[in-house]
Amino acid sequence: MTGEVHVNIRSLKWLRDSLAETPPMLDRLCSEKDEMITQTKRKIGMLLEKYTAKTNIALQKLWQATAELESAKQIFSPELVPYQYYQAVTECQTEYDNLKQYCTEIKEIGERFESDAARYHKKMTEYLESYRAIIKKGDMFLDKYSEFVRKSRTTINDD
């Protein structure tokens, strides 16, 4: 019986040490995930900035092409304006519309990601708090069990 008590004490110490190591590992994991989320948000923001800049350039090109078309209408009669002016406006409008659509989609992706990241963070916080509560209860149980083992050992040694 005494041998079993010593084995139990070693097992309890190992279990207690394992429980103590788990929260820092979980905290580290959460920190890594939070860093990945931050980096992803940053990349989405950079992508949005890039496409916003392209959209602004495309808008300027559209304004320029439209101004050139209006100038051509003043030089030529409306039905004799060369096709290239209309084509330039159409191409610039298409490019602007596409880039504007990309920006809208990137914004939506960013907003969905923000929302999902917030939900993830909330869930992870809840899980961590639950796990910490379980560890605390486990720790209390181990304390009581260790005390029981010590008392049993004392009783066995007294006999």
C-alpha distances in Å from residue 100, one per residue of 1, 58, 64, 80, 107 = 78, 9, 18, 32, 11
Alpha-carbon torsion angle 14, 144, 154, 20, nearest 10: 20
Determine the 3-state secondary structure of 73 from DSSP: helix
Kindly report the CATH number assigned to the domain that includes residue 127.
Answer: 1.10.287
Nearest residue to 45 via CA among 116, 121, 109, 119: 109
Half-sphere exposure of 60 (CA within 13 A, CB side): 6
Model pLDDT for residues 82-109, shown as the tens digit of each residue: 999 999 999 999 999 999 999 999 999 9
Q: Supply the pLDDT for residue 102.
A: 97
At position 151, the amino acid (one-letter code) is K
Whether pTM exceeds 0.75: no
Total Cβ atoms within 10 A of residue 87: 12
Best mean pLDDT range from 78-87, 94-103, 113-122, 132-141: 94-103
Average the pLDDT over each of 35-49, 76-90, 143-157 and give the range with the smallest value. 143-157
Residue 151, pLDDT above cutoff 90: no
Q: Supply the pLDDT for residue 24.
A: 86
Range of the domain at 63: 2-158
Burial class of residue 55, CB neighbours in 10 A (0-12, 13-18, 19+): buried
Q: Supply the pLDDT for residue 23.
A: 81
Model pLDDT for residues 37-58, shown as the tens digit of each residue: 999 999 999 999 999 999 999 9
Number of domains the chain is built from: 1
Tell me the C-alpha distance between 102 and 118, whole Å: 24
Contact 69, 81 (CB under 8 A): yes
